[in-house]
Amino acid sequence: MLASFFRVALRATDGIAAYATRRAAILDYYLHHSGEGGNITNWLDVAKTYSDLNQCGESYFTHNISMGPMYNLARLEDDATLNGIVANDVLTAKMWPLFRVAKNSFFSYIYAANVSSPEAGAVATANAQLAQFPVPPRVNVPVDLRASAEYPDHQSGCIDQVVHSTAVDVGDRPVGNFLWQHHPWGLYDPGDPYQTQPGVDYLVAYWMARHHGFLTDDTAGRCLRWR
């Protein structure tokens, strides 16, 4: 996250004369700071230890907090050596294996957009899952898949969760405020018919996929047009 903040600041001030001195100071700190907290080299050493410490997805949202900034860091880092570490040693080696079977379209697009050779099928699977989003309004209806033949194997030690070597399809999951920050294994949710969600989780994933050419416009000129 810290590295991402620095890279966004450098991008936002690039070529703006009034910020030239500040930008130089930001870049120097980013690359060379030797005091408490270190610099990008030290931050990436920490990032290379990325792992999942959740037992039953109780803090799964922390992955969303990490993957969002990773999108900007991976695409804005312009030092070839540092970018290689970000894309290969962190995103590909540590993060992607945690989400390969999670059916998390948002995370999959972040990964595929920032590595030179994405894993075969990663984008196709993400597209198929995103296509399952229900039409609005997104009401928090009850979900009970505990006896579903689609998800027969349950995770030992985790209440009402499918085995973690797979995931519940997006079209079958409980509605969430931002689907991608919730773990993908839930088989039961009592729901709340008085709550609806805005669908920004669909929109951010959809437009990311359009931007990177993972999806094409299937209704050209009808409503929104990418520029």
pLDDT by residue (tens digit) across 9-47?
999 999 999 999 999 999 999 999 999 999 999 999 999
| Beta strands 192-197; 188-189: pairing state | unpaired
Q: Which of 64, 99, 134 is the last residue of a domain?
A: 99
Regarding whether 139 and 223 lie in a shared domain, the answer is yes
Q: Which pLDDT value is given to residue 225? A: 57
Q: Which of 84, 99, 114 is the last residue of a domain?
A: 99
Q: Which pLDDT value is given to residue 151? A: 98
Q: Which of 99, 116, 135 is the last residue of a domain?
A: 99
Q: Which pLDDT value is given to residue 131? A: 97
Vertex 76: Cα angle to 75 and 82 (nearest 5): 90
The whole domain housing 24 covers: 1-99
Q: What is the mean pLDDT of the chain?
A: 95
Q: What global pTM score does this model have?
A: 0.94
36 within a domain of the structure (yes/no): yes
Q: Which pLDDT value is given to residue 220? A: 73
Residues of the chain with pLDDT under 70: 222-227
Q: Which pLDDT value is given to residue 218? A: 79
115 within a domain of the structure (yes/no): no
SS3 string, 103-114, reads CCHHHHHHHHHC
> Any idea of the CA torsion for 147, 150, 153, 154, to the nearest 10 degrees?
-60
Q: Which pLDDT value is given to residue 162? A: 98
Number of domains the chain contains: 2
Q: Which pLDDT value is given to residue 157? A: 97
Give me the percent of the chain exceeding a pLDDT of 70.
97
